[in-house]
Structure 1
Amino acid sequence: MTYLWSWEKQSPSYGNYGNANQWTVNAGLTSLARESCQNSADARTEDGAELVYTFISLTGDARRRFEEAIGWNELLHPHLLAMVGGAKAAVAAGQISSGLDLLAKSDELLLLRIDDYGCRGLTGPEFPDAMTSEDEYGNLIKLCRLDLWSGKDKAAGGSFGLGKAVYWRFSAIQTVLFNSVLAPEDALQGQVGNRILGVNQGTAHRLNDAIYQGRGYFGAWSEEVGAVRSDWADASVADALCLKRKDDRPGTSALILAFNDPDNPSQPETREARLQRLTKELRDGIEESFWPLITRGRMQVRIEQILDGDLVKSETIDPSGTYPELVNALRRFDSGDVNDELVEPLDVVVRDVTIDVSRRKSDPSHAGFSHPAKLVVTLSDEVKDGLEDRVCLFRRAEMVVQTIDRPYEGRRYHAFVLAGAAIKPGAASEDDLRADDFLRFAEPPAHDRWIPTSGRSQASQVNLNAHYLPPWLPNLRAIEHRVVKELDQLFGAIPSTDTSGPESVLRRLRFLRAGPAGGKGAGAAPRKPLVELVDWRVEHGRWHVAVEIQAKNRPEGWNLSPALVVVGLDGSRTAVQWEGPLESVEGCSVSGSTVTIPASDRGRKVKARFRGVSTADLPIPADLTAIDIVAIPASLATAEARS
């Protein structure tokens, strides 16, 4: 069977210049991990399903063989060039242009294959038509031929049908190939695999005096329909397309061509270093978002690296190494082994947090009711991680939707809220499923919140309007208030919201004059930068500070060497060393203890944030001191150090 690429002729009344759905997906490999893992989790048919991410780096002959298999020179590349030349104002065309330039300059072609096993494959008929009921649409049509169509069962991962766009979001040439194996009960005319189809989400373009629409398909030609259809390929074809599956378990493989994060362009690094970086970013994103799913054994996740056909790395994701407190707490909750109070590290307590579910007006309708979600809290060990002092929120999909950040002085903890069908997986009540649906519809397309915000950071939660009667806004906002109330009762104190600090903690940086005084205006110190201590605490005898600097925007920028000064009860002042290099948070770069704030091309002020930790070798115990921050020009600090 010969495969080909085909784009239909452009409609005279409508032009498609890219699929806007993909731009609803956030940038970064954390977003890729969230959306792709959720898609596979929703398609699971058994616990213990497997998900494998494989970075495939092709160079030399290996790359040429793959390009020949996908018809690169004959069809795909000429059409991509035509898209770039004919749609200079289209965002998708700009991405394709950058992708083609990247491929032309490098010997490497990087692919990312995402395989799931123990999941429903690309089921159902080939084309949506007037003779096919929407109820008969299978996964092939939903994934490859429809936009803004979800059709998922209640309590599934998403409700917008946008998550699938993540595959094209990370293809520099907007092209993805699929291969699927079906379960016997889903067989079509006796066929179960390999079902192969490719999709290019390009732009309307002109080639050889013909005008084509943006979306193109790769597969076998159907004379009956006059369009490309999927094909049941043999193993050798799947292998040539880098889509060979390791066994006959049902599921789907998605191959992202010219893998690239458009918001994090390629860095000057070896391909081995690049693969290591990408692997780490992807692993971190999976662990942070899906530690509940993996902990409960619902899915095993692995990341692999293949260089020119050779498997060079394979690692299984295990969140117990990164988030041991959370993993332990979830396992103890599931087994019913919990404590009455929090006394020792790894103790676990459970509290009810009520979520008010609004009355549903769409089918299946129901009255409003109160759902008892579960807040699980455990004390932390000595090792910090990114989810400490934060409450993870998740439901049946077992993906962390968002976190509530709530630090308490002197108490370090981990916590999570199980809602809906996540409380008793496999034994959820009807009300659990209804609560899960309410929260699913509350999530915006990025699936990153239940609790609404306002202003510029407000995200669309329009699905609630379509399915539920108001008021639902206060119901969702009450979640955070009730979680915080339970935490306050557990830890016995409400954290201060006063960021001004004690009187002895100065809000103004003392900026020493860099040069001698001269004539009028000569050597005058510029207006002092302002500092806001946005966070400060004592841990293990060290001061941990987060500082925000606002300064005049000037062409030469600012080069400062902040020093931490401890102030004793008697007013004595002693400069102390930073334990390690400062950490840039926003708007600055850091080298050791020097903070550089560049000039901005707009605005009268520049703003930056950094963090630092003092040495433990303090002249007075940290909890008996206040602090001051003194900043001098880096050049003067260097000169003083030399003298």
Structure 2
Amino acid sequence: MPRVPIRWIFDELPPSGARRGGQAAEHAFGHGLGHFVREVCQNANDQALDSARVDFELVELEGDVLDELLSALRWPELRAHLAGAGETTTPSGRRLREFLAAMEREGKLLVLRIEDRGTVGLTGDEDGDGSHFRALCKDTLFSVKAREGAGGSYGLGKSVLWTFSGLSTVLFASELSTLPKGCRSPRVIGRAELPYHEVEGVGFTGPGWFGREVEVSGGRRAESIWAKTAQTLAERLGIAREHQYSGTTILVLGFREPALEQARSPAQIASELGREAARWFWPAMEPSFRGLELRVGGSSRASLEAEEHAELAPFVDAWRRRNQASTETKLERPGDLARVPLSVELPRGRGETRRTRGEVELIVRLADEDAPASRRLATFRGAGMVVEYRDFSGLSGLRPFHAILACGLGRAPGEASDEDRVIERFLRDAEPPGHDAWGVTPALKDGWLRGSGQVFVRLWDSVQAALRQLLAPPVEAGVEGPERLRKRFPLGRTGRASSASQTIFALRDFDARLDDEVWRFHGTITPELDARPWRVALSLHHLAEDGSHARPLAIESLTTEPPLAIVHREDTIEVAVPLGVSALALTGRSVPVEDELRHTEIGLRVVGEQGEVG
């Protein structure tokens, strides 16, 4: 049997003559290393048979090692197309031209080897529907996901592989979990994503494949290389795998960070890869969730250690100890946890007969004042990838915290309800191609009836209300003598202060609203001990963005129940409460607020003291 040639074959320009200047998909994602890590790890996580492992390894090739790779890659063929693409006036062409010149001048090539284990591998036929091989190595805007809680859905994320390749070329080797009839692992193929270009006067649309040359209806193409031939080639290309582990090895040729002006060293890139992998996938890395194992340069990232990633440790701790918390928990000391179920009502999906009412879970951990990444909330669903770290530092007056919003199949891994599954599907549809936010998307509009946008308005209102209730500073009484303890209460447009534990006074049922130009507020102060008379002093002030005291706001009037005398002292109002009064109801209003301060929040300062009323 004649030997089938292995070579590069690019699609020629179609009869329409339509050209393209590069990958449109690359503009759907950010170009930071975090975006690259998210897409690569998410793809492996989605294809896991049980628990997957992903290894990242950066290698700088030069000398004989580089020569061997280029020889196995049929470099003269590929280089002709790279050079042709470099002659175009497109941004992609300019980048290719500059990278190719630098590579040949320096005689070095940095490659990133990504190997996943415990995944399905590049299963499927060359042209079959439901083919993982075709979705990753050939198609655009097609996605084949193995799990109900998959992270990806658009089929665009794979584009980052070529975006981060200075040569816009990526190689694949795979051990398949299920083989097509008559085939044996491994499977090898390469793909280049170039702009329109010409080679020796012939126009090419851009993409090309490295594989066995095969004649098909309409022309020639490169198909997968299999078995012994593939194994030999994989060894020469540096992508050979151990046969006992199904999965895929990817080689990104000429790895680069497209958003950086100054290239980092391989060691710096490796360190950042590890940090970003942990930052976005710590939920999936938990054994009780998906058990995803991540390694960079052989350093295991299977279990996250607090001392390794101080900014992530509080989130991991909160997740691991979530079952110790309840809605009755008081947050008093750093490390204390509270767990709050939040109701979610979804619109009907198209073709469905009823709305879905379910829950998501808010987990809040009280933090130290100087804790890194505090006042942030990590959101995720069943994929185990953090969708975003939502910043609540603008929510003035709250004690520092770290929080988690676990949704859909991520709310109770392994114990999902039917409602969790519907919420999972809704949130997946609510994510853009980068899967880094929740909001109204075309997929939501196509798959659900009207009202999707209000789901998120209500959800974030519920989250903010819960955070205010849990994290508003407690009212504390002053100690006898010159030293008094003062605590600030945040008053948003519908702000509330919760009762405090282990304090002499509590402020209950507090509410404040901006009515035209005036803040109106009411609440009730109660002493824990009513055997002595007591005194309170009240003052209002505007809050800066960081929650600090910005400017005083005078109280124009205050009434009490029972009616008591009030004394104005500059910006403070004092009330002396006699023996026998166990609760003091307050109703007051501020002076008119200046125009430039109407969009700020305000704080109420309460100073309480027990003792003789003079």
TM-score over 0.5 for the alignment?
A: yes
1:195-239 Cα shifts (integer Å, max 9, x gaps): 111111112222123222211000111235631101114333212
Asked if structure 2 preserves the Cα contact closer than 8 Å seen for 1:116 and 1:252, the reply is yes
Q: How does 1:324-335 map to 2 (within 5 A)?
A: 324-333=313-322
Structure 1 residue corresponding to 2:419, chosen from 431, 449, 456: 431
The alignment partner of 2:20 has SS state of coil
Question: Is 2:471 aligned against 1:491?
Answer: yes
Determine the structure 2 residue equivalent to 1:463.
443
Q: How does 1:115-514 map to 2 (within 5 A)?
A: 115-127=115-127, 136-152=129-145, 154-183=148-177, 186-224=178-216, 226-234=220-228, 235-267=231-263, 274-296=265-287, 298-305=290-297, 314-316=299-301, 318-321=303-306, 322=309, 323-333=312-322, 340-361=329-350, 365=352, 367-381=354-368, 384-386=371-373, 388-407=374-393, 409=397, 411-451=399-439, 461-492=441-472, 495=490
CA separation of 1:536/1:331 partners in 2, compared to 1, >3 Å: closer, same or farther? Answer: closer
* Cα distance between partner residues in 1 of 2:275 and 2:354: 41
1:363-415 Cα shifts (integer Å, max 9, x gaps): xx4522222100011122576323x2111111001111123222465722111
The alignment partner of 1:343 has SS state of coil
Structure 1 residue corresponding to 2:10, chosen from 7, 11, 21: 7
Structure 2 unmatched ranges of 5 or more: 474-488, 494-542, 550-614
The alignment partner of 1:352 has SS state of strand
CA separation of 1:340/1:479 partners in 2, compared to 1, >3 Å: closer, same or farther? Answer: same
* Cα distance between partner residues in 1 of 2:142 and 2:490: 44
Q: Which amino acid aligns with 2:465?
A: K
The alignment partner of 1:397 has SS state of coil
Q: CA deviation at 1:166?
A: 1.3
* Cα distance between partner residues in 1 of 2:444 and 2:452: 8
Q: Which amino acid aligns with 2:143?
A: S
* Cα distance between partner residues in 1 of 2:439 and 2:208: 39
Asked if structure 2 preserves the Cα contact closer than 8 Å seen for 1:112 and 1:259, the reply is yes
* Cα distance between partner residues in 2 of 1:142 and 1:314: 31
1:6-54 Cα shifts (integer Å, max 9, x gaps): 112210202233221122121111101111111111111103x111111
Q: Which amino acid aligns with 1:162?
A: L
Q: How does 1:38-187 map to 2 (within 5 A)?
A: 38-47=42-51, 49-72=52-75, 74-85=76-87, 87-88=88-89, 90-127=90-127, 136-152=129-145, 154-183=148-177, 186-187=178-179
* Cα distance between partner residues in 1 of 2:157 and 2:170: 14
Structure 1 residue corresponding to 2:35, chosen from 31, 42, 46: 31
Structure 1 unmatched ranges of 5 or more: 306-312, 453-460, 499-531, 539-643
The alignment partner of 2:192 has SS state of strand
State the percentage of identical aligned residues: 29
Determine the structure 1 residue equivalent to 2:523.
none
Asked if structure 2 preserves the Cα contact closer than 8 Å seen for 1:3 and 1:219, the reply is yes
Determine the structure 1 residue equivalent to 2:24.
20
Q: Give the greater-gyration-radius structure (CA).
A: 2
Write out the 4+ residue segments of structure 1 that deviate beyond 4 Å after TM superposition.
334-339, 493-498
Asked if structure 1 preserves the Cα contact closer than 8 Å seen for 2:326 and 2:339, the reply is no
Q: CA deviation at 1:245?
A: 1.7
The alignment partner of 1:259 has SS state of coil
The alignment partner of 1:346 has SS state of coil
Q: Which amino acid aligns with 2:175?
A: V
Q: CA deviation at 1:182?
A: 0.9
* Cα distance between partner residues in 2 of 1:451 and 1:474: 10
Asked if structure 1 preserves the Cα contact closer than 8 Å seen for 2:278 and 2:301, the reply is no
Q: CA deviation at 1:426?
A: 2.4
Q: Which amino acid aligns with 2:86?
A: V
* Cα distance between partner residues in 2 of 1:366 and 1:201: 45
CA separation of 1:391/1:304 partners in 2, compared to 1, >3 Å: closer, same or farther? Answer: closer
Q: CA deviation at 1:192?
A: 4.3
Determine the structure 2 residue equivalent to 1:607.
none
Q: CA deviation at 1:278?
A: 0.5
Asked if structure 1 preserves the Cα contact closer than 8 Å seen for 2:118 and 2:247, the reply is yes
CA separation of 1:241/1:233 partners in 2, compared to 1, >3 Å: closer, same or farther? Answer: farther
Q: Tell me which moved more, 316-325 or 280-289.
A: 316-325
